[in-house]
Homo-oligomer: A and B are copies of this chain.
Amino acid sequence: MQSNYTPLTPQSFLRRNARVYPGKTAMVYEGRATSYAAFYDRARRLASALKGIGIGLEDKVAVLTPNVPAHLECDFGIPMAGAVIVAVNYRLNAQEIAFIINHCDAKALVVDWEFLPLIQPVMGELKAIEKIVVVRDPGVKTPWQPQGSVDYEAFLAGGDPACEGILPADENQTIAINYTSGTTGNPKGVMYTHRSAYLNAACDLLQMNMSADSVYLWTLPMFHCNGWCYTWGVTAIGGTHVCLRKIVPKEVVTLMVEQKVTHFCGAPIVLRAVADGAAEAGLKRFPHKVKVSVAAAPPSPAVIEAMLSLNVDVVHVYGLTETYGPTTVCEVQPEWRNLGSAELARRMARQGVPYLLSEDLGVLHPDGRPVPADGNTLGEVCMKGNIVMQGYYKNPQATAEALRDGWFHSGDLGVLHPDGYIELRDRAKDIIISGGENISTIEVENTLYAHPAVQDVAVVSKPDEKWGEVPVAFVTLREGAQAGEEELIAFVRERLAHYKAPKAVVFQTLPRTSTGKVQKYVLRDQMWAGQAKRIGG
């Protein structure tokens, strides 16, 4: 090996901290702690055992587990064998899971006992799988287990703890493939490189001011962009991973107090769970400072205030699977600290500026020119830099479409504010064009969220003879709250241009994907039944 060059790979993080912090707790799960030395030992055994069953360079290993220690061990042990991690979303159904496992040609599958029923119906269809390894909590017995499968602990016992990790010959080699949720058509396999995983992990640590004293709670699924790279990042800094099979609000809060959790991540729904859990547990305020990175949707003023009063600082980030998770952060400027909470929340709701190591972020016209920084002109949010995917696995056409003209095209529409912050206005496919005017469904939704009776809202288009299309709001009211259609429409008209106000309000529960995203297309289909929606809509 060269004296002055090592390929960037997250493997280095674990090797270093097994040396630096051998006795320190790397992972906690249900009261059992694993030291950094044991973590490294187990990852090496896993790498060795995988090699032993013929897993080698660029082979794919699928992982279908909740946020348990075995998942973290896979995040290191699989690349140490030269192979590629394919962390699968366990909220998908059996057919969707089979599609992913087959599409990536996975040769082995590490599956948690809880999800065995998910693969049982499709066992006959998993074409390339040669070995199934079953992760089992102590004492758990399963009614069914795949033929020829092996227990994870037995598998590790057969591995060699002296096995050296295989460094990638090229740091741009693939370390993981993460499948998008695929709102249209089949999911796409987003390829991550060792180099970019390393850089984004370091970036998480810088953005969230983490240190070896940090204790990270796994509220974010590890299958989401490899836990947005915190699987690697927390290990890099020598922090402690607190694993979590399931989010039960009161239990989460109890765990946070017990383990002195300093950091966690999640969608706003996770923050609400923490607020609810604190209320249930009678906790007014965490005894220590906590920091949460929130993504998927902007945190509402109410959520921000609830978190602050609990001693939790909120960091709003935005990104996509294609950008290794967060690629922008709404950095809070020093002077914002003097703003009132409503104005602070309004600014924090923006997606912000490039993540520290993200390089470029642009809002571009279709012809590639940047939009003016006027907070008004709509363009496509585009990224370029080291934290952009390598491409879609076995899908050169989609890759070429997404990575063109030197930019990754996110499909999200936004504006650039005069202060350089971006703000999303819509997904390209969600934007409503009414009488030639763009209507951002997110803008209308955020306005409705400010109404005290509104708990949940989604705005989609419906066909209109005169305007082409017009907005309709689907609303869930808070328990015990009351508000009529006219009142809500008037509420929007008072606050936005009249053409942006919904023409109708439908009261119902919103359909969501397994990852918690509102399935707007289901609502849209309701509205457009029997009519062809415009292309690109």
Contacts and interface: CB of A to CB of B under 8 A. Distances in A.
Interface in A388-409: 388-391, 403-404, 406-408
Interface in A132-173: 172
Chain A contact residues: helix, strand, loop or mixed:
loop
Copy number in this complex? 2
A491 interface: no
Contacts of A1: 384, 406
Contacts of A5: 172, 385-386
A308 B93 CA distance: 57
Q: A interface, how many residues as a size bin?
A: 35 or more
A526 interface: no
B16 A354 contact: yes
Contacts of A354: 16, 19-20
Contacts of A6: 359-360, 384-386
A414 to B, nearest CB: 16
A492 to B, nearest CB: 33
Contacts of A22: 419-420
Interface of A: 1-6, 8, 12, 16, 19-24, 172, 196, 202, 205-206, 209, 211-213, 236-238, 331, 333-334, 353-354, 356-357, 359-360, 383-386, 388-391, 403-404, 406-408, 419-420
30 contacts: A2-B406, A3-B384, A3-B388, A3-B403, A3-B404, A3-B406, A4-B196, A4-B384, A4-B386, A4-B390, A4-B391, A5-B172, A6-B359, A16-B354, A16-B356, A19-B420, A20-B331, A20-B354, A20-B420, A21-B331, A22-B419, A23-B333, A24-B333, A202-B202, A202-B206, A202-B357, A206-B206, A206-B236, A212-B331, A238-B331
Given A4-B385, A4-B391, A206-B237, 11 more contacts: A6-B360, A6-B386, A16-B354, A16-B356, A19-B420, A20-B353, A22-B419, A202-B202, A205-B206, A206-B206, A206-B236
